[in-house]
Chain A
Amino acid sequence: QSALTQPASVSGSPGQSITISCTGTSSDVGSYSFVSWYQQHPGKAPKLMIYEGSKRPSGVSNRFSGSKSGNTASLTISGLQVEDEADYYCCSYADTITVFGGGTKLTVL
């Protein structure tokens, strides 16, 4: 099972919006509505930000949103804040197993 494809890095200024893409195949992202996104700050455990493609857990800012089109899922962060600077990973259910993306480093300039 291959990893999902994410851009290595993205950047934005405070207040701007950015989108991180996550490209899979018809065996994972394209077949299921089970894409999740995780935020990880250095030295910390990952934190769930989006599940089932577009749902936000309680306590996660509504500045974070998720979507999917075909084999590609996307995470959009609006109104960027300095504390959003972190690594972001997408993840998909894939016919009984789970696969992660390679991760994207978000820099808030």
Chain B
Amino acid sequence: QVQLVQSGAEVKKPGSSVKVSCKASGGNFSSYAISWVRQAPGQGLEWMGRITPIPGIIKYGQKFQGRVTITADKSTSTAYMELSSLRFEDTAEYYCARSIRWGGYYMDVWGKGTTVTVSS
């Protein structure tokens, strides 16, 4: 079964960047997409974007366009999400999730989340 293991918690200063990793084990990394979803404290889920390693298609949510970069390393089955120009309101839990291409990219396996705190 596919498992997604995310990197550890981060504390960042406003204006800096954070890069979160998501390593997949089990399954064929090239056969599905990886989505990134964030959840601010007490708030709902927000879709940030998605990468389909093959053929390398990346889509971003309008809110994050220009500030987020999603990449994937097929050799290590790891996806990355980098968010730049951090603001206090970017403090949130960041999740990666396996997305099934042929079903409208529903997310059937989730990582446990990475806490990102933006603090001066």
Contacts and interface: CB of A to CB of B under 8 A. Distances in A.
Contacts, number: 72
By secondary structure, the A interface counts as: strand
A64 interface: no
A98 B45 contact: no
B47 interface: yes
Given A1-B62, A45-B111, A45-B113, A93 B44 contact: no
Of the listed residues B37, B44, B111, B112, the one surrounded by the most CB atoms of chain A closer than 10 A to its CB is B44
Contacts of B95: 45-46
Given A34-B104, A97-B61, A47 B110 contact: yes
Name the interface size band of chain A: 20 to 34
Contact of A93 (B37, B45, B104): B104
Interface of A: 1, 3, 32-36, 38, 40, 45-48, 51-52, 57, 87, 89, 91-93, 96-103
